[in-house]
Amino acid sequence: MTRKRIVAGNWKMNTDLQDGYTLMKEIVSNVHVEDLDKCEVMIFPPYIHLKTFINTINGSGLVLGAQNCHYEESGAYTGEVSVPMLKSVPVEAVILGHSERRQYFNETNETVGLKAEAVTRNGLIAIACCGETLEQRKADQHFDVVAAQVNEVIAKVEAGNTDKLVIAYEPVWAIGTGVTASAEQAQEMHAHIRSLLEVRYGAAIANEIRILYGGSVKPANAEELFGQPDIDGGLIGGASLKASDFLNIIRA
């Protein structure tokens, strides 16, 4: 098993270009080579920052990514950005199906699956998000909800492209709330997700696919979460906007 950890910062709709640039510089200049030996570090700023950031990130070993994309290559889709456009920046990764996109922008399991197929086919890393709401967990539907989300993605991603596939489990009730899933709750869901990957791709591939946890990850809880056998790193929201917190999570 050779799963390299990932710590990814999802900046969401935060920072203007100047503030974002300052934050990016601070992260790049304080990440150590030893950090990157153990862990891939990815930054997902707003789209308009990408072209500016590519020069800062070049040669740093960090990965630059986008927070969304469209699954079509080009055409009459006003306001959308395609995978070939992202590739031309060039960015290397894309977050897909974040719960905020599902909640506010009508993202469905089907569109997330189409996007995951397009991203991995084009050779970019897809971080496909899944996660249940509090109501679904209370109704004991969380395993089924996550299975439906993940299965739609893996049905569309070819076995030959799974080196580009990352799953992020982000329980909606833990995002931006300060309430983290316990290490046991997270591990239990990650093991469930890995079993779905095994059904689709077989054990060898399933054991290579990274599964990240997201939802109120902080320097204080990162080590315990990342210590679980099926948790391969984190997708970080709020704490990725403060360089010192983000760096401490990387070191955890």
Q: Which residues are tagged catalytic?
A: 98, 170
Nearer to ligand 13P, 65 or 237 (CB): 237
| Binder of ligand 13P out of 206, 217, 222, 249 (CB under 6 A) | 217
Interacting stretch for ligand 13P, rule CB under 6 A, among 21-29, 54-62, 192-200, 215-223?
A: 215-223
Q: Between residues 130 and 175, which has the closer beta carbon with respect to ligand 13P?
A: 175
3 state DSSP class of 216: coil
Backbone φ and ψ for 169, nearest 5 degrees, come out as -90, 115
Residue 29 or 177: the one with the smaller Cβ distance to ligand 13P is 177
Q: How far is the CB of 238 from ligand 13P (least distance, A)?
A: 3
233 binds ligand 13P (CB under 6 A): no
Cα–Cα distance for residue pair 122/119, rounded to 1 Å: 5
Cβ(134)–Cβ(185) below 8 Å? no
CB 119 within 8 A of CB 96: yes
Cα separation, 135 vs 212, in Å, equals 22
67 binds ligand 13P (CB under 6 A): no
When asked if residue 235 is in the footprint of ligand 13P (CB under 6 A), the reply is yes
What string marks each residue from 150 to 179 as x (binds ligand 13P by CB under 6 A) or -?
A: --------------------x----xx---
C-alpha 196: how far from chain center: 18
Gyration radius from the chain CA atoms: 17
Residue 197's contacts (CB-CB under 8 Å, 6 or more residues apart) are 150, 154, 167, 205, 206, 209
238 touches ligand 13P by CB under 6 A: yes
CB of 165 or CB of 206, closer to ligand 13P:
165
For residues 68-107, which are near ligand 13P according to CB under 6 A? 98
Using rule CB under 6 A, residue 241 touches ligand 13P:
no
Structure tokens of 87?
Answer: 């590739």
| Contact call for residue 123 and ligand 13P (CB under 6 A) | no
Contacts of 17 (CB under 8 A, 6+ apart): 48, 49, 52
Task: Give the nearest distance from C-beta 2 to ligand 13P in angstroms.
Answer: 25
Peptide bond into 90 cis (omega under 30): yes
Binding region for ligand 13P (CB under 6 A): 10, 98, 170, 175-176, 214-217, 235-239
